[in-house]
Amino acid sequence: MRIVLLRNWLIVVLATAIISLSLIPVGILTTPLPDGNMPENRSTFHIEYALPPPADIHMPFEQAMARRMSVREFTDEPVTDEELSTILWHAYGYRDDGSRTIYDIGGVPAVGIYVLKEDAVYRYDALNHTLVLYLDGDYRSIVGWQYEAPVQLAIVQNEDVCDEYLGCVQIGGVYQNIQFTANALNLGTVVTGEVPSPIENIGLPAGEKGRIVMPLGHPRYPYNFVYRPMWLSFLPRPQESDVSLTDAIIQRSEGSSFTGTVSTQEQSQLLWSAYGFSYYLDRSGQDLNIVKRHRTVPSAHGYYPLKVYAATESGTYRYEPNLLININRIPIDFIGSPILPFLLKITGDDVRGELSLASQPPVASAPLSLVIVLDIDMTRPPGRDDFSGMWIRWLWHLEAGSCIHNVLLQATTLGLSANVFPVTDDSMVLSLFGLDDGYDPMYVIPIGER
């Protein structure tokens, strides 16, 4: 009798286990998590949801960049798992070579992405391409209170592993890839930030700092782009390559030496990618975004305070994305003006050797180096918010990061080699470019043949 009862008991236990396992969705793994100072409704088990394979984005990289725009109004239509998977992988996934889809300047990945959905908060596990349950409950209206959307992406920086500014440069690349990919999928998003960050409301682990929130959904006003460059310049017009957004991300690599030549067409293309105006006019008619000609990167409050310089053997030049800005003194195009890009010669001297002393030695031989400099006065326009203080200087390193990311991808499509180095001697760069301490030199991007 005991043998029969034991056998029956084992059958019941096995059947119960099988039924229990059958109730766990495919792709979920459960292991206990260590205790910590987290919200009471923080999941105490590691529950991991497998994402479907990401799709390739076949749109040419330049077209994806030219279509970049901020979307603030969304429908209730849900974002599918396939769409979310594609966006997350392009944003910060792992490539086949084991590196990330953005350049980890500083040498250490320092970015985290939380995905806020109706049911819970998840953390993106890039290594396994999964969503890990982090917190039960709907936190979208708390963290993403500025703009209601089906999904909110909360992007954080791990301050324990990387310099604050270099971590923000990484985030700049992440949010560019999110914008490019979302737009190509006919989804929309916008980069938002706040101090203190509302991301802190989900109870971040020690060392993580909330930086930006990006609502994600289907635009209430469908995209309606009209090709209308109205390019009035001696600089060559931007051209679309046959390299897709996905391929540009996969093929991106950072060089260690730079020689050869960079053509006028390539130089113009690289400068445009860094900070230029789109060759499309936006006819979508959004209520909360009346900009008609967008730019290749977003800027907090539309300030666009960065200056891009080009250092070559023949001299140093300042890139003017559109001379009409200097006339209107507004860095945003609300009417669809012609584009008048221009290179203003600063000096006829070859300063590449001195520039390498203020950054890294490979800059000395690079046929072209782009230098990103912050114009501090432009971060505090009269009558508007003052973002000139050191307490928020990280904000402009985000923007510099988006410029850098564009240039690295554009160099890839042109078959060129590029890298980025922080400026280590501000006073030398200011002297070389004839600037005073109202400017903050940030990064040097050397470019040359592979």
pLDDT the model gives residue 396: 99
Q: Does residue 373 register a pLDDT over 70?
A: yes
Residue type, 263: S
Q: Give the residue carrying structure tokens 């190509």.
A: 184
Closest Cα partner for 285 from 221, 328, 330, 226? 221
Q: Does residue 274 register a pLDDT over 80?
A: yes
* Mean pLDDT (the chain, rounded): 91
Q: Does residue 2 register a pLDDT over 60?
A: no
Phi (first) and psi of residue 305, to 5 degrees? -95, 5
Task: Quickly name the fold that domain 48-54+74-217 has.
Answer: NADH Oxidase (3.40.109)
This prediction's pTM: 0.90
Q: Give the lowest-confidence range in 9-13, 149-153, 276-280.
A: 9-13
Q: Give the residue carrying structure tokens 């991808």.
A: 409
Q: Does residue 310 register a pLDDT over 50?
A: yes
Given a contact cutoff of 8 angstroms between Cβ atoms, the answer to whether 167 and 112 are in contact is no
Q: Determine the Cα–Cα distance for residues 373 and 306; give it in Å rounded to an integer.
A: 6
pLDDT the model gives residue 330: 80
For the record, the structure tokens of 301 come out as 């409050």
The more confidently predicted of residues 335 and 157 is 157
Q: Determine the Cα–Cα distance for residues 213 and 234; give it in Å rounded to an integer.
A: 39
Q: In the predicted model, what is the mean pLDDT of residues 322-345?
A: 88
Q: What count of residues does the chain have?
A: 450
Q: Does residue 21 register a pLDDT over 60?
A: no
User: Homologous superfamily of 225-449 in CATH?
Assistant: NADH Oxidase (3.40.109.10)
Residue type, 255: G
Q: How confident is the model at residue 325 (pLDDT cuts 50, 70, 90)?
A: confident
Q: Does residue 17 register a pLDDT over 50?
A: no
Q: Where do the H-state alpha helices sit in 185-300? A: 245-251, 264-275
Boundaries of every domain in the chain:
48-54+74-217, 225-449
Q: Does residue 23 register a pLDDT over 50?
A: no
Given a contact cutoff of 8 angstroms between Cβ atoms, the answer to whether 368 and 344 are in contact is no
Q: Does residue 13 register a pLDDT over 50?
A: no
The more confidently predicted of residues 240 and 328 is 240
Crossing angle of the two packed helices 164-184 and 394-413, in degrees rounded to 10: 60
Please report, for residues 167, 171, 386, 393, 448, the alpha-carbon distance to residue 376 in angstroms, rounded to integers and kept in the order given: 21, 21, 10, 10, 30
Q: Determine the Cα–Cα distance for residues 351 and 337; give it in Å rounded to an integer.
A: 35
pLDDT the model gives residue 171: 99
Please report, for residues 170, 180, 273, 369, the alpha-carbon distance to residue 61 in angstroms, rounded to integers and kept in the order given: 19, 9, 10, 22
Q: Does residue 75 register a pLDDT over 80?
A: yes
Residues 26-60: tens digit of each pLDDT: 333 333 333 344 566 665 568 999 999 999 999 99
